Homo-oligomer: A and B are copies of this chain.
Amino acid sequence: MNEPIDSLPDIEQIRAAAARIAPHARVTPVMRSAALDALSGAELYFKCEHLQRGGAFKFRGACNAVWALSDAQAAHGVVTHSSGNHGNALALAAATRGIAAHVVVPEGAVRAKVEAIERAGAILHRCAPTQAAREAMCAEVQRATGAELVHPYADTRVMAGQGTVALELLLQAPELDALITPVGGGGLASGVAIAAHATNPGLALFGAEPQGADDAVQSLARGERVSGIVPDTLCDGLRALIGVSNLDALRRHQVQVISVTDAETIAAMQLIWSELKQVVEVSSATVLAAILRQPERFAGRRVGLVITGGNVDLQALPW
Contacts and interface: CB of A to CB of B under 8 A. Distances in A.
Contacts of A317: 317
Contacts of A315: 319
Nearest to A274: B314
A9 interface: no
Contacts of A29: 29
Interface string A292-319: 0000000000000000001010110101
Given A29-B29, A319-B315, A277 B278 contact: yes
B314 A277 contact: no
Contact of A319 (B51, B274, B312, B314): B314
Interface of A: 29, 50-51, 55, 112, 270, 273-274, 277-280, 310, 312, 314-315, 317, 319
Contacts of A279: 273-274, 277-279
Given A270-B314, A314-B270, A277 B319 contact: no
Nearest to A48: B277
Of A50, A310, A319, the most chain B CB neighbours within 10 A belong to A310
B277 A50 contact: yes
A254 B232 CA distance: 58
Contacts of A319: 314-315
Contact of A277 (B112, B270, B274, B310): B310
22 contacts: A29-B29, A50-B277, A51-B277, A55-B277, A112-B274, A270-B314, A273-B279, A273-B312, A273-B314, A274-B279, A274-B312, A274-B314, A277-B278, A277-B279, A277-B280, A277-B310, A278-B278, A278-B279, A279-B279, A314-B319, A315-B319, A317-B317
A317 B50 CA distance: 21
Contacts of A112: 274
A117 to B, nearest CB: 14
Contacts of A274: 112, 279, 312, 314
Interface centre among A50, A273, A319 (most CB of B within 10 A): A273
Given A278-B279, A314-B319, A317-B317, 12 more contacts: A50-B277, A51-B277, A55-B277, A112-B274, A270-B314, A273-B279, A273-B314, A274-B312, A274-B314, A277-B278, A277-B280, A315-B319
Contacts of A273: 279, 312, 314
Contacts of A310: 277
A253 to B, nearest CB: 30
A112 B277 CA distance: 13
Question: Could you say which of A50, A277, A279, A319 has the most chain B C-beta atoms within 10 Å of its C-beta?
Answer: A277
Contacts of A51: 277
A314 B112 CA distance: 20
A317 B312 CA distance: 15
A120 to B, nearest CB: 11
Best-surrounded residue of A112, A279, A312 (most CB of chain B within 10 A): A279
Contacts of A314: 270, 273-274, 319
Contacts of A270: 314
